[in-house]
Amino acid sequence: MGDYLLRGYRMLGDTCADCGTILLQNKQRQTYCVACQELDSDVDKDNPALNAQAALSQAREHQLASAPDPPSGTRPAPQPPVPRPEHCEGAAAGLQAAQGPAPPAGPPNADVMASTREALLQKLAWASAELGSSTSLEASIQLCGLIRACAEALQSLQQLQH
């Protein structure tokens, strides 16, 4: 607002009907609301639906807010780095990288197969429920990747059994 005053705009005694900001008037007697004309465009960079970096920031804030506080005097376990949107190919890629190389293949144990299948079904149900209530674009993208990875893992388990 100060920049406009220095450029010759006058501050009026009226306020914007939309946002309540004091209106300015240029030399051609046109009224101007700084908040509606300029600040709205700045909001786009903070909108997670329009900006991947904002979505990632919101997802990180949500993770930090939902994490339990560690007891005083202890350090929390280091978390793996969250992939940046421009380098991310989905939650499945991050999950595969975090798990490391696959162990050597051997004959599948029926108990291991059953417990793995049950864990995958539980994770799939959880991710589906979370996706239904998610308002974050980045979280939704990650949940879709997790759902896809679970479905592919279930399909692989089914192929191993036959």
Give the per-residue pLDDT at 28: 92
Contacts of 142 (CB under 8 A, 6+ apart): 59, 90, 91
Distance CA 108, CA 94 (A): 25
Taking each helix axis from N to C end, the angle separating 137-161 and 52-66, rounded to the nearest 10 degrees, works out to 80
Distance CA 24, CA 30 (A): 8
Would you say residue 94 has pLDDT above 60?
Answer: no
Give the per-residue pLDDT at 4: 83
Q: What's the order of all strands across the beta sheet hosting 10-15? A: 10-15, 22-25, 31-32
Average pLDDT along the chain: 74
Taking each helix axis from N to C end, the angle separating 137-161 and 91-99, rounded to the nearest 10 degrees, works out to 60
Distance CA 65, CA 76 (A): 14
What integer is the mean pLDDT of 65-75?
A: 61
Of the listed ranges 2-6, 95-99, 132-136, the least confidently predicted one is: 95-99
Domain spans of the chain, in order of start: 1-44, 109-160
